[in-house]
Structure 1
Amino acid sequence: MTTLTDQRVITFYEDDRLHLQDRHHDGLIITLFIANHYVPRILVDGGSSVNIIQVDVLKKMNIPETEITPRSSILIGFSGETKNTLGDIKLPIYIEGVNSFQKFCVIDNLSCCNVILGWPWIHEMKVVALTYHQCIKLPTLLGVAKIYSDQAEARNCYTSSMKPAAKADDRITI
């Protein structure tokens, strides 16, 4: 049996690291175009089984809460903490000629980022994420797209997650 395969090859080079501040242990924090808005502080998290967005981010995007499909679920974090969702919403994400509609769990707040993109987005978009290179690459109709992580923002996220809880308005920027 013969199968057709996508011939695009995703490769990482040392040149992909020229912009980095080394020695780092930074997470992947990117900015993407979601629902016609540039949204910063997006954590690409290969350990998350869902995509997550803050309700305050939706408000800043002028997306009414009536667009959220009410459904309460419990999310369990890495350290065992639990968070109830307010519901789900589907939003478009645009990257270099590719639109994908992603389902997000809506929650009242995250520790430091506006959005978490987990397995659903990573797998659907065939994203290859490397923290060492501080970038993600994915196949598009126009070739391989490369999106660099913002190391300064990643460090701000880390620092703010280590501080006592700040006001919600201090964490959310679009």
Structure 2
Amino acid sequence: MVVHSKNEALMCKVFPSSLGPVVMRWFDGLKECPINSFQELTRAFGARFVTCNRVPHPLDSLLSMTMRKGETLKAYSDRSRVEVRPALRFSDEDKVGTLQPHDDALVVTLKIGGYDVKRVSVDQGSGAEIMYHDLYKGLKLRPEHLACYDCPLVGFDGKAIILKGQIRLLVQGGLEVVEVDFIVVDAYSPYTAIMARPWFHAMGVVSSTLHLKVKYPLGDQVEELIESQSMTRECLVPVIRHQSGGESSAYAE
């Protein structure tokens, strides 16, 4: 690289040869226009992956640590050097690939009950995970699989929703798998399911509707869930049809 430090085109070509799989996905997703020099490429790389750096505990937290009863000096020393999980942040680099400005909802694809399910709404303002009845049938689940659930539920329009019951299913987002209790409802929605705060907390995820992206820690790395913005806007089609009386419910993928 030193020999060819003035040949920026060559340096840009050599750059991806040292990247791992996670960084390569970011590199392959870059558009041609925003990067005009090797310096811009390295700046974009630094801005994107600075969140993956290990962050030491602040001095105040280290000074407040005390030895536990029966703890050896080595164990105390090792505990004082434990580093926190990577920070989950969003920057302008996370807007790459999205049309800005926008007011689109955050919609992703998740593996639910062993099936890839599209048009799953991610809503940290909701307190319970919802599965719509069309998806429940699409997953080949039967009524006897449902547990009783009789708590009242009100929809976005303020009307009471017909509850079918509750079911616990495995949900996979990226490489992480967690158990989720879905309330199954018989109501119209352009989405197949809604992921709410319990899933956010179980996964440790942070979402951004501005960047249309979900981030979560995996070891010392930051993984992402990204969905096509066009799919989000496709959800508007069944809404229009439903309002005109042409479609009664969202279909399962």
TM tier, shorter chain?
Answer: 0.7 to 0.9
Give the corresponding residue for 2:96.
18
Q: AA paired with 1:43?
A: S
Q: AA paired with 1:167?
A: S
5 Å-filtered alignment, 1:1-174, equals 2=65, 6-141=84-219, 143-162=221-240, 163-164=242-243, 165=245, 166-168=247-249, 171-174=250-253
Does structure 2 retain, via aligned residues, the 8 Å contact 1:90–1:104? yes
Does structure 1 retain, via aligned residues, the 8 Å contact 2:132–2:189? no
Does structure 1 retain, via aligned residues, the 8 Å contact 2:176–2:203? no
- 1:8, distance to aligned residue in structure 2 (A): 1.6
Q: AA paired with 1:173?
A: A
How many corresponding residue pairs? Answer: 172
Q: AA paired with 1:45?
A: D
Whose radius of gyration is greater, 1 or 2? 2
Deviation digits for residues 1-60 of structure 1 (CA, Å, limit 9, x no counterpart): 649774221122222111001221001011011111000010001111100001221221
Instruction: Name the structure with the higher strand share.
Output: 1
Does structure 2 retain, via aligned residues, the 8 Å contact 1:72–1:85? yes
SS at match of 1:160: helix
Aligned CA RMSD, in angstroms, stands at 2.1
Query: What percentage of residue pairs aligned between the two structures are identical?
Result: 25
CA distance in 2, matches of 1:69, 1:77: 21
Does structure 2 retain, via aligned residues, the 8 Å contact 1:72–1:84? no
CA distance in 1, matches of 2:163, 2:83: 38
1:97–1:6 Cα change, 3 Å: farther
Does structure 1 retain, via aligned residues, the 8 Å contact 2:135–2:192? yes
Instruction: Name the structure with the higher helix share.
Output: 2
CA distance in 1, matches of 2:106, 2:230: 11
SS at match of 1:86: strand
Deviation digits for residues 121-153 of structure 1 (CA, Å, limit 9, x no counterpart): 112212111011110101124722111133222
Structure 2, gaps ≥5 residues long: 1-63, 66-78
CA distance in 1, matches of 2:152, 2:178: 25
Does structure 1 retain, via aligned residues, the 8 Å contact 2:85–2:219? no
Does structure 2 retain, via aligned residues, the 8 Å contact 1:137–1:147? yes
Q: TM-score, normalised by structure 2?
A: 0.62
1:6–1:106 Cα change, 3 Å: farther
Q: AA paired with 1:104?
A: F
CA distance in 1, matches of 2:87, 2:101: 28
Does structure 1 retain, via aligned residues, the 8 Å contact 2:128–2:195? yes
CA distance in 2, matches of 1:5, 1:112: 42
Deviation digits for residues 87-106 of structure 1 (CA, Å, limit 9, x no counterpart): 10001011333210000100
Does structure 1 retain, via aligned residues, the 8 Å contact 2:161–2:187? no
CA distance in 1, matches of 2:190, 2:103: 17
CA distance in 2, matches of 1:71, 1:50: 12
SS at match of 2:167: strand
